[in-house]
Structure 1
Amino acid sequence: MLLIRTTSPLATSLPLLTLASCHFPLPNRLFSPKPAPAFPQTARPLSLYSPPKMNWLGKLGFGTRTPTDSPLDQSSSIAQGPDDDVPAPGQQFAEFGAGCFWGVELAFQRVPGVSRTEVGYTQGYLHNPSYNDVCSGTTNHNEVVRVQYDPKECSYQSLLDVFWARHDPTTLNRQGGDVGTQYRSGIYFYTPEQEEAALESKERQQELLNRNIVTEILPAKKFYRAEEYHQQYLAKGGRFGFRQSADKGCNDPIRCYG
């Protein structure tokens, strides 16, 4: 008599699904494939932006949306409109995207003549996005720093110099270990003079690097201020309470994650 021995699929080795630093066993072929999203998703390595961190922040009410805040209820025309905020009298705005906005903001905080910095989201299609929305890779928003400065004490060119020095403008949608469209290199201008200066600065930088620069130069659009815990994050101590100096002219190395 021929005996046939069968083995249950669950008795075999199970694949591992990796989420940040945690591993969860899942049976093979347990779930059917999901359809591709409307926009490409972006890979994201282990960092302070990992899902475990956002879980506990979400419990505190950060980076979350209310059930009524459906993207279908929002008008992309608002998000794609100009930044209609007004700087303080005698001041001007400048706006830059250069990767994770924590370290970029601290760099601009240290510039003499800069009176205010804010981190936020811009250039996307969704009105009033949360941090989770931006990190989903589906809204086209960029993490940016909006700088308010006194043109009598600080030239726009000096801000451009800080921008180029702070990141690698030749890597598309990536700065170091941070990967995604929200980390793209961008200069967002408020005046024709800023646009001209940005384009000329990009040409000079292109000659210096001798590599293709992927920095986008576009008009400033609606600016959405990021959640309060993101504001001046490194100067306030970051995740571990290690405050980094925002004093004018400070040259201390910036530790991006505090």
Structure 2
Amino acid sequence: MLLLRTTTTSSSSFHSSLPLLLIAASHSSSLSLPKLSTNPLFTPLHTPTKKMNLLAKLGFSTRSPTEPSVEPSSSSSLPQGPDEDIPAPGQQFAQFGAGCFWGVELAFQRVSGVTKTEVGYTQGLLHNPTYEDICSGTTNHSEVVRVQYDPKEGSYEALLDAFWQRHDPTTLNRQGNDVGTQYRSGIYFYTPEQEKAALESKDRHQKLLNRTIVTEILPAKKFYRAEDYHQQYLEKGGRFGFKQSADKGCNDPIRCYG
């Protein structure tokens, strides 16, 4: 005679119950136990690795409660805006367009707190433009200087002052004899703080002028570094080979073409 009874047990890996079959047989009975299912859906997850993988897929943290969390270092540099590179640790980027970028770069090289300058193109329609491309007047790029500066050594406001002093912000798409959209006046901000400072600075300078400032203040777009021969052009000697000082605090007049 057989005595059949079912009970349930709860598996740590499943929320459903599975029946167990208990069999009691007399000495004259000859029964074989049923085979356990090989269906992978009912394969218990006994190993810690499988359990942690399942938790990870469900979006739960698999970090041990005793495992210390790792916070990003405060000295690390964070990405700013759309550029592919990042500023040095503890430093920031700023972008300015104020006419031909040769003279503008030298002006910023002389500002305290500036640790690096690069000239390039931004705000246009073409990916990775060349100087010839932007000179065609069809790409809408602006010639800009991207400044890397240390906020502990110099302020963004000091950069803004150098920007206003370097050019005439009331002439549209023109600085002196240089005419075209690539020479337009622009401040391209990387952070909300830079935007706020730029707008406030523009308002202050507008009160000092009789004509309307036409400077555009826009979010920074991807910076495309100009060809090597444009970099630090005037410091290296420019067109005529006469080097101009990039020393901090230098007030020598800047010769636009060298």
Identical amino acids, percent of aligned pairs: 86
What do the CA deviations read for 1:14-51 (whole angstroms, capped 9, x no partner)? xxxxxxxxxxxxxxxxxxxxxxxxxxxxxxxxxxxxxx
2:192 aligns to what? 192
2:174 aligns to what? 174
2:128 aligns to what? 128
**Taking structure 2 as the reference length, what is the TM-score of the superposition?**
0.68
User: Which letter maps to 2:161?
Assistant: D
Distance 1:98 1:87 in 2: 22
Contiguous gaps of at least 5 residues in structure 2:
1-80
Structure with the larger RCO, 1 or 2 (CA within 8 Å, 6+ apart): 1
CA offset at residue 98 of structure 1? 0.0
User: Which letter maps to 2:96?
Assistant: F
Distance 2:155 2:95 in 1: 14
User: Which letter maps to 2:120?
Assistant: G
2:74 aligns to what? none
SS at match of 1:235: helix
What do the CA deviations read for 1:130-177 (whole angstroms, capped 9, x no partner)? 000000000000000000000011100000000000000000000000
1:216 aligns to what? 216
Distance 2:249 2:215 in 1: 26
User: Which letter maps to 1:231?
Assistant: Q
CA offset at residue 84 of structure 1? 4.0
Distance 2:171 2:145 in 1: 19
2:140 aligns to what? 140
Matched ranges for 1:228-239 at <5 A: 228-239=228-239
Which structure has the larger Rg over C-alpha atoms?
A: 2
RMSD: 0.9
Distance 1:96 1:128 in 2: 19
Distance 1:108 1:197 in 2: 18
SS at match of 2:212: coil
Distance 1:120 1:173 in 2: 17
User: Which letter maps to 2:148?
Assistant: Q
1:242 aligns to what? 242
Distance 1:217 1:139 in 2: 19
CA offset at residue 85 of structure 1? 2.5
User: Which letter maps to 1:107?
Assistant: A
CA offset at residue 240 of structure 1? 1.1
CA offset at residue 125 of structure 1? 0.6
CA offset at residue 226 of structure 1? 0.2
CA offset at residue 83 of structure 1? 2.7
Distance 2:110 2:212 in 1: 29
Distance 1:106 1:232 in 2: 7
**Taking structure 1 as the reference length, what is the TM-score of the superposition?**
0.68
